[in-house]
């Protein structure tokens, strides 16, 4: 079941999240986004009023309260956030995220997700190519990178991953624009290869099993590189 709540203030949103976490009734709670968690004082104030640090204090207090409850209830809480630029930074990375430093400290896993290009069919944009980097990980090795397609009205494209990793592991062969499997041409172009696998689920399952067999024999460092170069996309 999916439950959606649209609270009026940041305090209200985090109180609802805390109650749901303590109830243990939900497996996953998503808060979208930290940037939209506007403190009550800011909403009730006038335009132009200064509210320096209010959101950061709100996030720090809320995370201190819910961290223990998250652990006890085994609930996964996902916070999405937005990138801002620090004013006047001349050296180093000027990018930062909203809501202060507390979320960066308390988070078990942090992912940097960026759109790197558009996937097109003719003149129509049908999806985005996305690059994800693990910038923090308390439960496994950090700094790993993945690239995949997010298709509109579909989500993450499993078939796109099969095509990319299949080519990298030589389960699929690519010569120019042509893709082949077991010495038989299956399509011309990456999107056509994805469509072919959609229409032939038995072959897709067979390719997936072969990929897993080969991946188990690979060095873990080599597996990280899979799928990085096989996609043909329109760069921004």
User: pLDDT digit string (tens) for 64-122?
Assistant: 999 999 999 999 999 999 999 988 888 888 999 999 999 999 999 999 999 999 998 88
Inform me whether the pLDDT recorded for 224 exceeds 70: no
Q: Does residue 225 carry a pLDDT above 80? A: no
The helix, strand and coil proportions of the chain, stated in percent and rounded to the nearest 5, come to 40, 25, 35
Q: Which residues of 198-210 are buried (b: 16+ CB within 10 A; e: fewer)?
A: eeeeeebeebbeb
| CA–CA separation, 132 and 109 (whole Å) | 12
Q: What is the pLDDT of residue 134?
A: 97
**Whole-number mean pLDDT of the chain?**
89
pLDDT of residue 47: 85
Decide if pLDDT at 234 tops 90. no
pTM higher than the cut 0.85: no
Residue 219 pLDDT more than 80?
no
Q: What are phi and psi of 227, to 5 degrees?
A: 85, 5
* Token output for 13: 């949103």
How far apart are alpha carbons 70 and 84 in whole angstroms? 28
Mind listing the pLDDT tens digit for each residue in 145-185? 999 999 999 999 999 999 999 999 999 999 999 999 998 99
The arithmetic mean of pLDDT across residues 203-211, rounded, is 95
The per-residue pLDDT for range 22-45, each reduced to its tens digit, is: 999 999 999 999 999 999 999 998
Ordered structural domains, the chain, with CATH: 1-107 (3.40.50.300)
* End-to-end alpha carbon distance in the chain: 37
Quick one: average pLDDT of 211-229? 65
Distance CA 65, CA 43 (A): 23
Rounded (10°) CA dihedral 68, 69, 73, 76? -90
d(CA 59, CA 52): 13
Instruction: Decide if pLDDT at 204 tops 80.
Output: yes
Residues 55-66, mean pLDDT to the nearest whole number? 95
C-alpha distance from residue 18 to each of 42, 49, 217 (Å)? 22, 29, 44
Residue 223 confidence (pLDDT) above 70: no
- Gap between the Cα atoms of 184 and 145, Å rounded: 32
Vertex 7: Cα angle to 5 and 10 (nearest 5): 125
Determine the pLDDT at residue 220: 53
């Amino acid at each position: 079941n999916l439950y959606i709540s649209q609270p009026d203030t940041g305090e209200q949103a985090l109180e609802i999240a805390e109650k749901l976490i303590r109830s243990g009734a939900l497996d996953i709670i998503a808060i979208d986004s930290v940037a939209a968690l506007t403190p009550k004082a800011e909403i009730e104030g006038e335009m132009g009023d200064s509210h320096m640090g209010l959101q950061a204090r709100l996030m720090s207090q809320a995370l201190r309260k819910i961290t223990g409850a998250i652990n006890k209830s085994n609930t996964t809480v996902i916070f999405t956030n937005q990138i801002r630029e620090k004013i006047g930074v001349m050296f180093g990375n000027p990018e930062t995220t909203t809501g202060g430093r507390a979320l960066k400290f308390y988070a078990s896993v942090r992912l940097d997700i960026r759109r790197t290009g558009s996937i097109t069919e003719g003149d129509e944009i049908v999806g985005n190519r996305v690059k994800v980097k693990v910038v923090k990980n308390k439960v496994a090795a950090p700094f790993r990178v993945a690239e995949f397609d997010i298709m509109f009205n579909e989500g993450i494209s499993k078939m796109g991953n099969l095509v990319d990793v299949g080519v990298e592991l030589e389960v699929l062969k690519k010569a120019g624009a042509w893709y082949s499997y077991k010495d038989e041409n299956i399509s011309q172009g990456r999107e056509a290869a994805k469509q072919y696998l959609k229409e032939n689920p038995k072959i897709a399952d067979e390719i997936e099993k072969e990929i897993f067999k080969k991946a188990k024999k690979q060095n873990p460092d080599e597996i990280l590189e899979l799928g990085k170069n096989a996609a043909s996309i329109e760069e921004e």
